[in-house]
Structure 1
Amino acid sequence: MSLKEVTKGIDPVISNYANGYLEYIHQNLEDIKNTDSIDKEIDFVKLVLQSSGCDNTKLDKLCNEYAAKLKSEFDAKSALNTSASKQLKQSLVIGSQRITNASALLGHSTDLDAVSGKRIKSQVDKKKLAKAEKKIRAKMEKRENESKISVAYESSKLLNESDEDYDDFFKTVNPYQSSSARAKSKDVKIDSFDLYVGNGLRILSGAQLVLAHGHRYGLVGHNGIGKSSLLKALSRRELPIPENITILHVEQEVRGDEVPALQSVLDADVWRKHFLQEQTAITARLNELESAQDDTENDVLAQKMRDDEIQELQESLNVIHENLADMDADTAESRAATILSGLGFSVEAQSKPTNQFSGGWRMRLALARALFCKPDLLLLDEPSNMLDVPSITFLADYLQTYPGTVLIVSHDRAFLNDVATDIIHQHSERLDYYRGCDFDRFYASKEERRKNQQREYDNQMAYRKHLQTFIDKFRYNAAKSSEAQSRIKKLEKLPVLEPPEEEQEFKFRFTEVEKLSPPIIQLQNVTFGYNPDKAIVRDVDLSIQLDSRIALVGGNGSGKTTLLRLLIGQLEASKGQISRNGRLRIGYFAQHHVDQMDLNLTAVSWLAKVWPGKSDEEYRRHLGSFGITGTLGVQKLELLSGGQKSRVAFACLCLNQPHILVLDEPSNHLDTAGLDALADALKKFEGGVLMVSHDVTLISQVCNEIWSCEEGHVNQFDGDIFDYKKYILAKAGSSGIVVQH
């Protein structure tokens, strides 16, 4: 009897989960105390499979067979530990049993996803499954050393498939806090913990996490180091966060439905929503009891029962009113509307259903929901990636007076300079703290710290060499042997120092530019709109030369990308004239450049497909000039990180040796090293640059002209990008948009 036969026709997620859990039991037999524990573990798997609709007769037979085999191996291991005389014999038994692993014992030779032929809706009670998962995790944590916390267990994927039960998840992670509970300390301190990602890769070892309430921490580090995994572990309380601290993590966009944007933000405060629903239900029941008074006035017992119920409901209603007043429920709608306005939602947009917004706007909704809930610990993962400069400016201003603790993963230096009070540097499986530092001060301090570590390491290596030279010379000299022994002891007592980590440097190198005579690109009175009655941009006058360094800024939907597509010839102007030099070549970096890639190809193969005619060695050398070195060039694109895909896109756009670079959000997905390399390369580029970007630091380093898109008009802004930020804040203030908490 195999698991494949028993689970035929059920949800493949469940069958995969059961198989993985049985394998986990098999691999960790040494942690099981007795055979009764094996029965309990098998009973849990049996319960999961029964709830999904498995045949009970076949399931009983399979579980009994597998329990017997596990007990047999457990007894063999126990005998091995207690009888040295039987060591060889028992080793042979265990060895032969290990040859048949858990999957083979269960008859697994094919992918369980293909068992049923079609996707079947899960019949599992997710609440029961989640409860069981909680018990398993608690059991595993008990087995760990009390001084170490290890998050290595990967729970059922079914629990993470969707957020249909978001309210239940929110209540589980953030139980309602009374006033006394909320008054407790909000500081977080977790000593010496290890953290693993789902595939068993350790990202933190013996780390310490310290978050002081009210501080705003920037979590920085190279792409792929595990910053997002740390945030996820915190958001699910897989690390021991005090229960009185509420947590909210913004990592993915809101799912679209028919709920208006404003209501979606209001519903994010699940406890407010819960109390309002309770209030409505209790009020309806009280009205019902009041209307039934005439029917019970002659029945004393019924009258007493009705009066008792009314009194209980009134008491419950009073508690609900107190809770709603405590959370400022009366001002909720105005607070939600203010946050949405600051993030770019017009009054009209706030009433639109969420399924009418694009992915970027849904990300803004997710951010608005988090800010509205005001959690004690707010976790933000690259919040600026989907925001324009006005929205980033509003968000930074909002967070500067945020009453709780904020932990932000971001590579936007200007944003971190505006927001962060402290920096946490994640690297080499540890967390280094730079207290009282914004990003610029952190960068300087990090380099100074690295130099000091290098100096200390070099001094110790020189001292070690000095001691070792003396020892080697006089170890066997009778007159000097005691001194040699003394130096041996000194050498043994020296702490072992590791050389400081070398910073990985990336270089971008754009191709040389052939000189052209002006004009290069000229727009005169250009107007465009998909609908003739509604222009997106109108009467635009703009010229780009080989020495131009222009940043195009403005709110999302203001027409920036439309203008770029007009410049490169993807769109034709409805009115006006666009003239280009006949020999002009343009390199265009699209915001959604990944959509244009064939992710099944390697970087080399994709370049050869887009721009054929060179050898593989030439393509690899070209990729190397954008940081895609070694085996990265021959890996499938789908296996590369977001920053690595961006580098491949930059390499591709340079193959036609462009005179003008037109860049739409080039900073997305690039880490600090990548942004530094991009800024340096753009400054050295001999052609023209026109970029749309939300990264204030990149704009300030590269561009000397700011053009703003507002209400369909494109005009040169008098000032730099920092003046533009001040202008945005002043405009928001004059429009009545103020930061409220």
Structure 2
Amino acid sequence: MSSLGAQIRRAVPDIDPVVTDYAIGYVNHISNSTTDSVAAQQLDLENDIGFVKNLLKSAGANESKLESLGVSLQTALKQQLDDNFAKLKITGDTSKRLLDVNLLKNQMNRQLQGSLALIGASKDIEHNGRNMESRVDKKKLEKAEKKIAKKVAKRNNKFVKYEASKLISDSQGDADYDEFFLKINPMEFGSGAGKSKDIHIDTFDLYVGDGQRILSDSSLSLSFGHRYGLVGQNGIGKSTLLRALSCRELNIPSHITILHVEQELRGDDTLALQSVLDADVWRKSLLKEEREINDRISEIEKLRTEFDEESLEVKKLDNEAGDLVQHLEEVHEKLSEIESDKAEGRAASILFGLGFSQKAQHQPTNSFSGGWRMRLSLARALFCEPDLLLLDEPSNMLDVPSITFLANYLQTYPATVLVVSHDRAFLNDVATDIIYQHSERLDYYRGANFDSFYSTKEERRKNAIKEYENQMAYRKHLQEFIDKFRYNAAKSSEAQSRIKKLEKLPVLEPPEEDKSVTFRFPEVEKLSAPIVQLQDVVFGYSPDKLLLNDVNLDIRLDSRIALVGANGCGKTTLLKILMETLRPIEGHVTKNSRLRIGYFAQHHVDAMDLTLNAVTWLSKTYPGKTDEEYRRHLGAFGITGSLGLQKMQLLSGGQKSRVAFAALCLDNPHVLVLDEPSNHLDTAGLDALAEALRSFEGGVLMVSHDVSIISNVCNEIWVSEEGTVKRFDGTIYDYKKYILSAADAAGVLAKH
């Protein structure tokens, strides 16, 4: 192939000869390929020539000459490969056969397909005049095919593509829990002894739905015992990644146990405490086996009395009993290994920490609402202590006391935790590392809680912007010199030198800009005090069952109040009294006659017609303005452009929340009453909400579990407990310490 070598030398006469010789050798290697690998080489010819061009370009070759060289090389090499293949077919010469992993894969696939065709045959194979029974095991063959494909992909350094869309249709909530648990976590005691429980998944792509890619050329690395916070904007695919892990769609070693808290528990007559104990299917299966063995041993004892001591039947029964006793000892060893005797106390402690009283623990699961069943799902996962615990927005279903307990519990969790959350305070308490999902990739921030991640991310972004701007300025400077002196004979060598410098510069992408979200509440007209005042309020659905007693509180135009307390302790009842949907049995609620209250409901979506777009829904619900005025109003809450004209069922949870905020402000309220406003909002949305509430000129009463937004917005804490609501002397962090001290006194924070 001297002619090809000559072409290369003519095209790049000025570059380093070492690079030229390497490129010629590489091209000659391609041209000498023969046998079946020719087909694969032809398919990869464009990539090979691209490699050669990039190599020469990096050494300073002229780009326009490289383009024409690439065309001539491709034509010549294709002809040479065709000639090689034709020669092979005539002579059968395989002396120059190359090992090609694509070829290996194709050969194996052809063999496997042939075997599968034989399996599907309607009659046995005839060989040498004799019928021979086909002994091919289809399941083993399919397993072998998958194993070979993985090996070939790994050797060929190809990305593995994972389709997560089927996880939606194969939802574990629709399957029997025990069956799903054992499928994901097969009971193989001791199988993981001595094996690493770190997780490393190299280069993979992850898709969802109709081919939408959420991760590209990504790798996942989880060190055992670390607690990872997975963060990113709404809709980026964090929950999809968790589902792929929970169903082992991604390649996690089989000895690592996994549990994912995603769906609420299905209610039945099982008691709450027993449902948590039953979540450990290994323990449940062993206890069942223990009962069955003991029952059979008792049955054997009765059967022995029916026969003579020296009879053959008694000897058989004794042998069976001996085997059963030996098996029973093995079962007891396994139960001891998982500390089964401590299980009930541990389950009760977890339930108590998550808000279940001793009485509630002995109520059937079908007596609890959806939110409490989600807590049961969380309790079941904590009780099982899997090697990899996956949590998706756990704080959304908990109150401040329960979040405080969960954060404290996870701080001593003995395995790996991967949690999706936008709750900064929770991540600050729990996370040892942060994984930032964005732009179809995962960025790792080792040894970082949320605050340190956020500051480091901003610093990285600023540095990237600075580097990009500096390079663009340098490129501009070089280009201006080239344009000015390209055709100047005296300066031509300097221009050529700058052209080479320009070509060698790395190509930088402009740093992505964080999406800015804004909230803007309307101005407030001044009102004279009292705005809202509760005096000696008593409420109950019957006089003998009071929910609230002796409540004396007031709200001012400058109030920033957080109402906290355990679920079911009367917070929602107090809001309804303020909104006058409930009337107290005793006491008075005094309001300014001109007071307008804007109410944000926790389940605000229930009040929306999701088949309409936001502009149409606002015009029907709050008539009196033009469509343009509604669009401008929505824009004040981040619903800009076409978002206001999309059907609301297509909006994300955070976008629906912004529409709800826009709606409550149309009446220009003096006081905002917000029930869990932080749910569904990502970090940018939470920052925007906090800033808007601080700037709002009216009063704010907020029920929230998000400690960060309470800390950023509120300067007054109301605590609902023991049948009343009172001011708490201290900050939200003081309240957390108060909760932990009470939990310690109750003995529910024992280390595990």
* TM-score, normalised by the number of residues in structure 2: 0.80
Would the aligned equivalents of 2:565 and 2:719 in 1 still touch at CA under 8 Å? Answer: yes
Give yes or no for the alignment of 1:191 onto 2:191. Answer: no
Partner Cα distance (2:521, 2:700) in 1: 12
Query: 1:285 aligned to 287, 292, 296, which one?
Result: 296
Which residue number in structure 2 is paired with residue 371 of structure 1? 382
Give yes or no for the alignment of 1:594 onto 2:599. Answer: no
In structure 2, the CA distance between the partners of 1:130 and 1:456, relative to structure 1 (3 Å rule), is: farther
Give 1:653 deviation, angstroms.
Answer: 0.2
Partner of 1:686, secondary structure, is: coil
Would the aligned equivalents of 2:230 and 2:420 in 1 still touch at CA under 8 Å? Answer: yes
In structure 2, the CA distance between the partners of 1:551 and 1:136, relative to structure 1 (3 Å rule), is: farther
Query: 2:262 aligned to 233, 251, 255, which one?
Result: 251
Matched residue type, 2:411: Q
Partner Cα distance (1:487, 1:41) in 2: 63
Would the aligned equivalents of 1:706 and 1:719 in 2 still touch at CA under 8 Å? Answer: yes
Give yes or no for the alignment of 1:400 onto 2:408. Answer: no
Partner Cα distance (2:118, 2:634) in 1: 52
Partner Cα distance (1:42, 1:610) in 2: 67
Which residue number in structure 2 is paired with residue 635 of structure 1? 646
Would the aligned equivalents of 2:596 and 2:668 in 1 still touch at CA under 8 Å? Answer: yes
Which residue number in structure 2 is paired with residue 612 of structure 1? 623
- In structure 1, stretches of 5+ residues that fail to align are 1-29, 47-59, 61-128
Which residue number in structure 1 is paired with residue 666 of structure 2? 655
Which residue number in structure 1 is paired with residue 553 of structure 2? 542
Which residue number in structure 2 is paired with residue 495 of structure 1? 506
Partner Cα distance (1:241, 1:142) in 2: 15
Give yes or no for the alignment of 1:149 onto 2:147. Answer: no
Matched residue type, 2:701: L
Give yes or no for the alignment of 1:698 onto 2:709. Answer: yes
Give 1:538 deviation, angstroms.
Answer: 1.2
Partner Cα distance (1:148, 1:423) in 2: 24
Which residue number in structure 2 is paired with residue 555 of structure 1? 566
Give yes or no for the alignment of 1:361 onto 2:372. Answer: yes
Give 1:400 deviation, angstroms.
Answer: 0.7
Query: 1:242 aligned to 229, 253, 264, which one?
Result: 253
Residues 224-279 of structure 1 deviation map (CA, whole Å, 9 limit, x = unaligned): 01111111111111111122211111111111111110011001111000111111
Matched residue type, 1:425: Y
Give 1:676 deviation, angstroms.
Answer: 0.5
Matches within 5 A, 1:280-429: 280-297=291-308, 300-429=311-440
Would the aligned equivalents of 1:335 and 1:740 in 2 still touch at CA under 8 Å? Answer: no
Matched residue type, 1:225: I
Give 1:162 deviation, angstroms.
Answer: 4.0
Matched residue type, 1:619: Y
Which deviates more from structure 2 when the two are superposed, residues 339-348 or residues 308-317? Answer: 308-317
Matched residue type, 2:684: A
Would the aligned equivalents of 2:693 and 2:713 in 1 still touch at CA under 8 Å? Answer: yes
Give 1:733 deviation, angstroms.
Answer: 1.1
Residues 638-676 of structure 1 deviation map (CA, whole Å, 9 limit, x = unaligned): 111111111110000000000000011111111111010
Give yes or no for the alignment of 1:622 onto 2:602. Answer: no
Which residue number in structure 2 is paired with residue 176 of structure 1? 187
Partner Cα distance (1:685, 1:154) in 2: 43
Give yes or no for the alignment of 1:685 onto 2:682. Answer: no
Would the aligned equivalents of 1:32 and 1:38 in 2 still touch at CA under 8 Å? Answer: no
Would the aligned equivalents of 1:141 and 1:150 in 2 still touch at CA under 8 Å? Answer: no
Give 1:298 deviation, angstroms.
Answer: 6.0
Partner of 2:524, secondary structure, is: coil
Give 1:740 deviation, angstroms.
Answer: 3.4
Query: 2:481 aligned to 453, 470, 476, which one?
Result: 470
Matched residue type, 1:698: I
Which residue number in structure 2 is paired with residue 266 of structure 1? 277
Residues 569-625 of structure 1 deviation map (CA, whole Å, 9 limit, x = unaligned): 111111111111111100000111111111111111111111011111111110110
Which residue number in structure 1 is paired with residue 520 of structure 2? 509
Give 1:490 deviation, angstroms.
Answer: 2.7
Which residue number in structure 2 is paired with residue 710 of structure 1? 721
Partner Cα distance (2:740, 2:686) in 1: 26
Partner of 1:385, secondary structure, is: helix
* TM-score, normalised by the number of residues in structure 1: 0.81
Matches within 5 A, 1:72-151: 146-151=157-162
Partner of 2:546, secondary structure, is: coil
Which residue number in structure 1 is paired with residue 454 of structure 2? 443
Partner of 1:511, secondary structure, is: coil
Matches within 5 A, 1:205-224: 205-224=216-235
Partner Cα distance (1:300, 1:626) in 2: 88
Which deviates more from structure 2 when the two are superposed, residues 481-490 or residues 520-529? Answer: 481-490
Would the aligned equivalents of 1:420 and 1:438 in 2 still touch at CA under 8 Å? Answer: yes
Would the aligned equivalents of 1:336 and 1:372 in 2 still touch at CA under 8 Å? Answer: yes
Residues 158-208 of structure 1 deviation map (CA, whole Å, 9 limit, x = unaligned): 643744421121112112243361432111111211111132111111112
Give 1:147 deviation, angstroms.
Answer: 3.7
Query: 1:225 aligned to 218, 223, 236, which one?
Result: 236
Residues 83-139 of structure 1 deviation map (CA, whole Å, 9 limit, x = unaligned): xxxxxxxxxxxxxxxxxxxxxxxxxxxxxxxxxxxxxxxxxxxxxx99999999879
In structure 2, the CA distance between the partners of 1:42 and 1:341, relative to structure 1 (3 Å rule), is: farther
Give 1:471 deviation, angstroms.
Answer: 2.7
Partner Cα distance (2:149, 2:554) in 1: 65
Partner of 1:485, secondary structure, is: helix
Partner Cα distance (1:680, 1:581) in 2: 27
Would the aligned equivalents of 2:164 and 2:249 in 1 still touch at CA under 8 Å? Answer: no
Give 1:475 deviation, angstroms.
Answer: 3.1
Which deviates more from structure 2 when the two are superposed, residues 350-359 or residues 453-462? Answer: 453-462
Matched residue type, 1:352: Q
Identity over aligned pairs, percent: 65
Matches within 5 A, 1:570-581: 570-581=581-592
Would the aligned equivalents of 2:165 and 2:207 in 1 still touch at CA under 8 Å? Answer: no
In structure 2, the CA distance between the partners of 1:699 and 1:570, relative to structure 1 (3 Å rule), is: same
Would the aligned equivalents of 2:387 and 2:416 in 1 still touch at CA under 8 Å? Answer: yes
Partner Cα distance (1:656, 1:39) in 2: 73
Matched residue type, 1:486: S
Give 1:150 deviation, angstroms.
Answer: 1.1
Q: Larger Cα Rg: Structure 1 or Structure 2?
A: 2
Give yes or no for the alignment of 1:452 onto 2:463. Answer: yes
Partner of 2:581, secondary structure, is: coil
In structure 2, the CA distance between the partners of 1:158 and 1:409, relative to structure 1 (3 Å rule), is: closer
Partner Cα distance (1:38, 1:548) in 2: 77
Residues 261-307 of structure 1 deviation map (CA, whole Å, 9 limit, x = unaligned): 00110011110001111111111111111211133436744333322
Which residue number in structure 2 is paired with residue 738 of structure 1? 749
Give 1:324 deviation, angstroms.
Answer: 0.4
Would the aligned equivalents of 2:433 and 2:445 in 1 still touch at CA under 8 Å? Answer: yes
Partner Cα distance (1:240, 1:718) in 2: 51
Give 1:209 deviation, angstroms.
Answer: 1.1
Give 1:532 deviation, angstroms.
Answer: 2.7
Which deviates more from structure 2 when the two are superposed, residues 140-149 or residues 670-679? Answer: 140-149
Matched residue type, 1:532: P
- In structure 2, stretches of 5+ residues that fail to align are 1-105, 123-137
Q: How many residues align?
A: 630
Partner Cα distance (1:297, 1:132) in 2: 53
Which deviates more from structure 2 when the two are superposed, residues 326-335 or residues 137-146? Answer: 137-146
Pairwise CA RMSD of aligned residues? 2.7
Give 1:308 deviation, angstroms.
Answer: 2.5
Give 1:327 deviation, angstroms.
Answer: 0.3
